[in-house]
Amino acid sequence: SNKKRVVILGAGYGGVIAAQGLGKLAKKLNLDITLVNKHNYHQMVTRLHEPAGGFAEGDEVRIPLKRLVNDNVKLIKDWVEAIDPVNKQVTLKEQVVAYDYLVIGLGSDPEYFCIPGLQEHSYTLRSLNAARLIKTQIEGSLAKYKVESQSEEGLLNIVVGGAGFTGIELLGELAEWLPVVAPKYDVNVKDIRLICVEAAPTVMPGFDEELSIKAADILRNKGVELKIGTPVKEVTQDYVMIGDEKIPTKLMIWTGGVRGNSVLEDSGFTTQRGRANINEFLQSTNFEDVFIIGDSSIYYDENGRPLPPTAQIAMQQGEHLVHNIERLLTGQEMTPFVFINRGIIASIGPKEAVGIVFGKRVSGLLAVYLKRLVHYRYLFIFGGIPLVIQGFLGQFIPQV
Ligand code: NAD
């Protein structure tokens, strides 16, 4: 047929919005749309600290893709191994798919900065299963601590490397959960050390100073040891080197930053820290039939500063991409992407949050409620009122 084949890689915040929007235009534009994702569900990466800290099981933070896109979108559950932008095809583990237009929304990978032992001996918060692994490791250590008479050194030391937004949200969650879970294993919570290591002189470097001081105070009051201005230098399976200090631990969680998904670099795209260069229309600067959105690409704002890798930006880019593909295929000029910054809120456990919303500082209960509102707004965009109601009930009934 003369249908244009559009292949979307990744069902993250950008990919889902793109698949939904293009799905609605499939008939009008005569499109054959395929969405490829490693799971048959979308995971809310922005909420992974919750299952890591035991306050969510999993089904609260994932939504089956069938529930999100219409029947015009063919779903393939597979792993993207390589992209061949010259021959316009993508190699998956199980098959090869050809495209006329490609949309890449494959997100990011952890950035390890070549720190010795870090990749091999740390945990990350990059997927639901990774989050659940952290929770299981903590519970395992608590159980072990009571059973083994010669307990391993540092068994109850939990180290979080990096105090950006991801680190802060994880610490907040763990600090609330540990006093709940420790007694279940007959462990005195005072025997647990929750340590945060940050290389910069403050937590949340680059963020509003007043709010980052507030976040640090909240965490300290919850018993978190903050080691600020000292980089993680080396990690082994028994300890972490923080500056010149050696901290024994079996659980080092790395939240020290991200880089673009390695598939892009490996497939011949020009990248910066793994994020592919794109033009103002969201097209790859190397191949104009490839659009790249979210963390997988790097976009410079009107002041020449790169936009950060956030869900908010990925969603806006997904929406803009649909608009641009529609214009492209109907012979109109595409329009440049403009980011509308609605703000940012970090939760610090279930009961605290700090943020900037439409340019104003928020904290305390107001911030907690605004954060919830952001979540319900996201559910509304993704699935209308029915998804909001399911989100409120806390489950999305995945067909895994
Ligand atoms: P990040 O890059 O923002 O933070 C990483 C932190 O690790 C930095 O503070 C950095 O100084 C520190 N670091 C780097 N190397 C180190 C070392 N060797 N030792 C100790 N510390 C080291 O990464 P992130 O927190 O994962 O955030 C990624 C993006 O996602 C950001 O743009 C962030 O704003 C966004 N985000 C937003 C939210 C939210 O809106 N609530 C939540 C999570 C992440």
To test ligand 1's pocket by mutation, which of 240, 310, 313 has the most ligand atoms within 8 angstroms of CB? Answer: 310
To test ligand 1's pocket by mutation, which of 166, 203, 347 has the most ligand atoms within 8 angstroms of CB? Answer: 166
Using the atom order of ligand 1, give the atom closest to the CA of residue 118. Answer: 18
- pLDDT tens-place values along the chain, 400 residues long: 689 999 999 999 999 999 999 999 999 999 999 999 999 999 999 999 999 998 888 888 999 999 999 999 999 999 999 999 999 999 999 999 999 999 999 999 999 999 999 999 999 999 999 999 999 999 999 999 988 766 789 999 999 999 999 999 999 999 999 999 999 999 999 999 999 999 999 999 999 999 999 999 999 999 999 999 999 999 999 999 998 999 999 999 999 999 999 999 999 999 999 999 999 999 999 999 999 999 999 999 989 999 999 999 999 999 999 999 999 999 999 999 999 999 999 999 999 999 999 999 999 999 999 999 999 999 999 999 999 988 888 766 554 4
**Is the CB–ligand 1 distance for residue 241 below 6 Å?**
no
Nearest CA to ligand 1 atom 2: 257
**Is the CB–ligand 1 distance for residue 231 below 6 Å?**
yes
Say how many residues make up the chain. Answer: 400
Find the angle CA(139)-CA(125)-CA(228) to the nearest 5 degrees.
90
Indicate if 169 belongs to the active site.
Answer: yes
**Is the CB–ligand 1 distance for residue 258 below 6 Å?**
yes
Q: Which residues does 107 contact at the CB level (< 8 Å), separation at least 6?
A: 10, 12, 45, 261, 294, 295, 296
Using the atom order of ligand 1, give the atom closest to the CA of residue 115. Answer: 18
Q: How high is the ipTM of this complex? A: 0.99
**Is the CB–ligand 1 distance for residue 166 below 6 Å?**
yes
**Is the CB–ligand 1 distance for residue 206 below 6 Å?**
no
For residues 152 and 244, give the distance between their C-alpha atoms in angstroms, rounded to a whole number. 22
From the candidates 81, 120, 153, 169, give the one annotated as an active-site residue. 169
**Sign, Cα dihedral of 190, 193, 194, 200:** positive
State the distance from the centre of ligand 1 to the C-alpha of 322, rounded, in angstroms: 29
State the distance from the centre of ligand 1 to the C-alpha of 257, rounded, in angstroms: 5
Q: Please name the amino acid found at residue 162.
A: G
Sheet with 343-347, side-by-side order of all strands? 343-347, 353-357, 360-363
List b or e across 220-233, with b for residues whose CB sees 16 or more CB atoms inside 10 angstroms: eebebebbeeebbb
Using the atom order of ligand 1, give the atom closest to the CA of residue 233. Answer: 18
State the distance from the centre of ligand 1 to the C-alpha of 96, rounded, in angstroms: 35
**Is the CB–ligand 1 distance for residue 169 below 6 Å?**
yes
**Is the CB–ligand 1 distance for residue 163 below 6 Å?**
yes
The 3 state secondary structure assigned to the chain is CCCEEEEEECCCHHHHHHHHHHHHHHHHHCEEEEEEECCCEEECHHHCHHHHCCCCCCCCCEEEHHHCCCCCEEEEECCEEEEECCCCEEEECCCEEECCEEEECCCEEECCCCCCCCCCCCECCCCHHHHHHHHHHHHHHHHHHHHCCCCCCCCCEEEEECCCHHHHHHHHHHHHHHHHHHHHHCCCHHHCEEEEEECCCCCCCCCCHHHHHHHHHHHHHCCCEEEECCCEEEECCCEEEECCEEEECCEEEECCCEEECHHHHHCCCCEECCEEEECCCCEECCCCCEEECHHHEECECCCCCECCCCHHHHHHHHHHHHHHHHHHHCCCCCCCCCCCCCEEEEECCCCCEEEEECCEEEEHHHHHHHHHHHHHHHHHHHHHHHHHHHHHHCCCCCCC
Nearest CA to ligand 1 atom 29: 309
**Is the CB–ligand 1 distance for residue 357 below 6 Å?**
no
pTM for the whole structure = 0.96
Using the atom order of ligand 1, give the atom closest to the CA of residue 162. Answer: 7
Query: What are the phi and psi torsion angles at 43 (to 5°)?
Result: -110, 140
**Is the CB–ligand 1 distance for residue 197 below 6 Å?**
yes
